[in-house]
Amino acid sequence: MNTKKPRIIVMVLGLICIIMAASTITAFALAGTSTDELKEKEKTIADLNTQLAKLTNELAILMQNQNQYENQTSQINDLKTQIDALNSDLDTANKNLEVLKKIVNLDAKTVIYNKTLIQNAGDRNNIFHESTAYAGYILIEATSNSTNSCYFEISYTFKNVLFEHKVYLDKANEKTTIILPVLPATLKIILGNDNDNITTEDAKNPTIYDNKVQAAITLVY
């Protein structure tokens, strides 16, 4: 009995030593594994920080480029607005040039009067009284139902000189054409009827001296 007890104790102690040794080896193995993982994680973190710094730098560049893009877009829009305004001015200038070409060629025409009226005996009607901007001529085409009673009186003052013309419609029921030069001035046109000497017999029917006049007046410059 006494011989068996020491053997059991030795065996137990041996197992304890084996277990302790295994535990120590396992602890060192675990400790070594944890250190490697930490180093790997530290390396991963360092790589991620490097990537983060790179992305942050790229983001800053992108933001700067975005600001430049927005500024350039704003400048482009401003330039487009200026171009549109210049194109509008150019269109206006071209239109004005065409008008001036017509004026130089005496091809600009404006109808200033086109009516049919009864011109009473002895009356004078002011049918046009406005300023003209350019030199040109006036074209009157008129018809009256009488001879040498109705007339057009055209007058204007240029450089303190009065220009005055009085032209009768000398053909009954036939068109009379009148062409007179005009200068830049205030142009006045009067339509009159000289039949004002009504006799006692005529006074019973004074309208026999009233004349029907159809007139078209065109200003050309």
Question: Over the stretch 16-55, which tens digit does the pLDDT of each residue have?
Answer: 455 445 445 544 554 555 677 778 878 887 887 888 788 7
Q: Look at residue 89 and tell me whether its pLDDT is greater than 80.
A: yes
CA distance 176 to 165: 15
pLDDT of residue 148: 73
What are the residue boundaries of the structural domains of the chain, listed by start? 1-105, 107-220
**Predicted confidence band of residue 215 (pLDDT cuts 50, 70, 90):** very high
**Predicted confidence band of residue 190 (pLDDT cuts 50, 70, 90):** very high
Q: Look at residue 102 and tell me whether its pLDDT is greater than 90.
A: no
151 φ, ψ (degrees, to nearest 5):
-150, 160
| Pairwise pLDDT comparison (179 vs 48), residue with the higher score | 179
pLDDT (mean) for 142-171: 90
Read off the amino acid at residue 179. I
Q: Look at residue 87 and tell me whether its pLDDT is greater than 70.
A: yes
pLDDT (mean) for 126-154: 91
**DSSP designation for 165:** E
| Pairwise pLDDT comparison (126 vs 55), residue with the higher score | 126
pLDDT (mean) for 5-23: 48
pLDDT (mean) for 199-206: 46
| Pairwise pLDDT comparison (186 vs 173), residue with the higher score | 186
| Pairwise pLDDT comparison (41 vs 153), residue with the higher score | 153
pLDDT of residue 182: 94
Give me 199's structure tokens. Answer: 């006799």
Q: Kindly provide the b/e burial profile for residues 156-169, where b requires at least 16 CB atoms within 10 angstroms of the residue's own CB.
A: beeeeeeeebeebb
* Lowest model confidence (mean pLDDT) among 25-39, 79-93, 110-124, 129-143: 25-39
Please identify which residue in the block is written with the tokens 């406005």: 130
CATH of domain 107-220: 2.60.120.260
| Pairwise pLDDT comparison (64 vs 127), residue with the higher score | 127
CA distance 153 to 164: 7
pLDDT of residue 16: 47
pTM, full prediction: 0.57
Is the Cα dihedral 107, 135, 191, 196 positive or negative?
negative
